[in-house]
Chains A and B, each alone.
Chain A
Amino acid sequence: AQKVTQAQTEISVVEKEDVTLDCVYETRDTTYYLFWYKQPPSGELVFLIRRNSFDEQNEISGRYSWNFQKSTSSFNFTITASQVVDSAVYFCALVYDKIIFGKGTRLHILP
């Protein structure tokens, strides 16, 4: 069965702290894709990153970084020097022939 688990329901950190959002997935497919989306309070879904199952290279984009480890079936997301604008719900998603989402992690960045 395909499944995405985001064990952290809600996280609060003080601004400028680093924070890591965990994502663990299950799939029997050898070819799959993983995504992260951000949902700010306004409600829209904002695409952050895509990673395919053959590319375990970590990625950094500004204050955001992603760590993909097939050995542990994890695709974790780290925000460095967090800012209040990072407050949102973050979803990890697994894609095979359709996309399935984790339940999301609500991140509060406190000023």
Chain B
Amino acid sequence: DADVTQTPRNRITKTGKRIMLECSQTKGHDRMYWYRQDPGLGLRLIYYSFDVKDINKGEISDGYSVSRQAQAKFSLSLESAIPNQTALYFCATSQSYGDSYGYTFGSGTRLTVV
């Protein structure tokens, strides 16, 4: 099993629908992150959580919300999806500042909003 699992892998949804992207990890890491990737823009941070009670907005949090249900689970919600939220979404984990082996990323969720 992968260390960081994202579900679903691919999703097509309609404008205005609520959708949840899920992330679970078996690394035992405290820190979890959600990024979105758009062509030519790299990865941008949406939300991050340093522990279950700590949730922080990243640079592009508008239109998104998150839930840290447990140390191992961190979900990203789009309350009312819009087409410009079409992107590749990554969940990542790290143990601490400058994790020695790099951040661990999930395989990504490709979301299309039509």
Which A residues lie at the B interface, using CB under 8 A? 6, 9, 31-33, 35, 37, 43-45, 47, 50, 52, 91, 95-104
Scan B27-61; emit 1 where CB is below 8 A from any A CB, else 0: 00000010100001111110010000000001000
Q: Are A99 and B33 in contact, with the CB atoms below 8 A? A: yes
* A97/B97 contact (C-beta < 8 A), A45-B90, A103-B40 known: yes
Q: Are B98 and A91 in contact, with the CB atoms below 8 A? A: no
* A47/B43 contact (C-beta < 8 A), A97-B97, A98-B33, A99-B92 known: no
Find the B residue at minimum CB distance from A42.
B107
| One of A9, A47, A95, A102 near B98 (C-beta < 8 A) | A95
Q: Is B105 interfacial (CB 8 A cutoff)?
A: yes
Q: Are A103 and B105 in contact, with the CB atoms below 8 A? A: no
Find the A residue at minimum CB distance from B94.
A99
Query: Which chain B residues border A103 with CB–CB below 8 Å?
Result: 40-42
Q: Are A100 and B45 in contact, with the CB atoms below 8 A? A: yes
Give the shortest distance, in Å, between A10 (CB) and chain B (any CB): 10
| One of B40, B42, B102, B108 near A47 (C-beta < 8 A) | B102
**Can you list 7 A-B contacts with CB-CB less than 8 angstroms, sorted by A residue number?**
A43-B88, A43-B110, A47-B102, A50-B100, A50-B101, A101-B44, A104-B42
Query: Which chain B residues border A91 with CB–CB below 8 Å?
Result: 42-43
Q: Is B103 interfacial (CB 8 A cutoff)?
A: yes
Q: Are A35 and B42 in contact, with the CB atoms below 8 A? A: no
Q: Are A50 and B43 in contact, with the CB atoms below 8 A? A: no
Question: Which residues from 71 to 104 on chain B have a C-beta closer than 8 Å to any C-beta of chain A?
Answer: 88, 90, 92, 94, 97-98, 100-103
Bound Cα distance from A44 to B89, whole angstroms: 11
Bound Cα distance from A45 to B98, whole angstroms: 17
Bound Cα distance from A50 to B88, whole angstroms: 24
